Amino acid sequence: MAEQKRIGELFEELVETVARLRGENGCPWDREQTRESLKPLMLEELYEAFDAIDCGNEEALQEELGDMLLHIVFHAQIGQEKGTFTIGDVLTRIIAKMYKRHPHVFGREKVRDVDEVLLNWERIKEKERQKGGMLASLPKSLPALLRAFSMQARVARVGFDWKNAEEVLKKVEEEWREFQEAWKANDAKRLEEEWGDLIFALVNLARHLGIQPEDALQRTCDRFAERFSFIEESLKALGKNIAEASLEEMDALWEKAKKEPLKHS
């Protein structure tokens, strides 16, 4: 109980701190910020939190979550100044939403497993939607791999899904053949469409195999960057400029880099 009181007091202090920063005698920088100017900063904090999670750095994650919370309070303070909403409205709304969407916890409804929880979640959200369908609320600005994964996961909750990974693999093979046909036909428009279909099918396969495609590709990028850095450092140690190295030299060093333990695995 004492800890809850402390949390409440700290949260109130944060809200008051942001209000003071935005106040008449506050910080000039904070005072001139708008919702639009905060967008890139808010996105940056989100990805910094992702990095902390990926690195398993709990101390860094603690700091980044604080930065994200600051943005939430900051936007609520702007809302209060505009007379549109307050941090109290934000809290009231999310708490009510959690109660409404978890009747198996806060109500009398019974569920057997996670699948039933997700199906029930979609039924509740369907009643809440005023327009559009299940996919309408997904931001189009999401990274494409994440958007594809989220789309597939949502429709799977209502049964629109392949039965198993083997079935999805057949779809991947089908899309690969269609991509090759478009390539041979030198049809640029169709080639782009078939490439997109192929990646979409691969995302679906990843989902069925329990792989997060965005994370998997990020780790591949990390491995590539580390191994290419090994090539650069190796050539530099030999007194060579990478721009002057042959492809054969770089390939040989690449194979050597693959045998080296990764610094970030």
The answer on 218 and 182 residing in a single domain is: no
Q: Is residue 115 part of a domain?
A: no
Q: Is residue 139 part of a domain?
A: no
The answer on 36 and 80 residing in a single domain is: yes
**Nearest Cα to Cα of residue 178 among 204, 199, 197, 162:** 197
CA-CA distance, 112 to 72, in Å (whole number)? 35
**The domain boundary residue, chosen from 56, 83, 100:** 100
Number of domains in the chain: 3
**Nearest Cα to Cα of residue 22 among 84, 70, 91, 93:** 70
Q: What percent of the chain has pLDDT over 70?
A: 95
The answer on 175 and 93 residing in a single domain is: no
CA-CA distance, 218 to 220, in Å (whole number)? 5
**Residue 51: half-sphere exposure toward Cβ, Cα within 13 Å:** 10
Sign of the dihedral through C-alpha 115, 120, 121, 123: positive
Task: CATH number of the domain at 89, please.
Answer: 1.10.287.1080
**The domain boundary residue, chosen from 74, 100, 126:** 100
Average pLDDT over residues 71-78: 97
Higher pLDDT, 116 or 24: 24
Query: Is residue 265 over pLDDT 70?
Result: no
Q: How confident is the model at residue 130 (pLDDT cuts 50, 70, 90)?
A: low
**The domain boundary residue, chosen from 69, 100, 131:** 100
The answer on 191 and 231 residing in a single domain is: no
The answer on 239 and 174 residing in a single domain is: no
The answer on 83 and 8 residing in a single domain is: yes
Q: Is residue 31 part of a domain?
A: yes
Q: Is residue 264 part of a domain?
A: no
Q: Is residue 132 part of a domain?
A: no
Higher pLDDT, 227 or 102: 227
Per the structure, the complete domain to which residue 200 belongs is given by: 162-211
Are the CB atoms for 61 and 71 separated by under 8 Å? no
Per-residue pLDDT tens digits for 78-92: 999 999 999 999 999
The answer on 93 and 31 residing in a single domain is: yes
Per-residue pLDDT tens digits for 35-45: 999 988 998 89
Q: Is residue 157 part of a domain?
A: no
The answer on 168 and 87 residing in a single domain is: no
Q: Which helix (H) or strand (E) element contains residue 141?
A: none
The answer on 232 and 197 residing in a single domain is: no
Q: How far apart are the first and last CA of the chain?
A: 41
The answer on 191 and 251 residing in a single domain is: no
In whole angstroms, how far apart are CA 263 and each of 57, 213, 223, 226? 16, 22, 9, 8
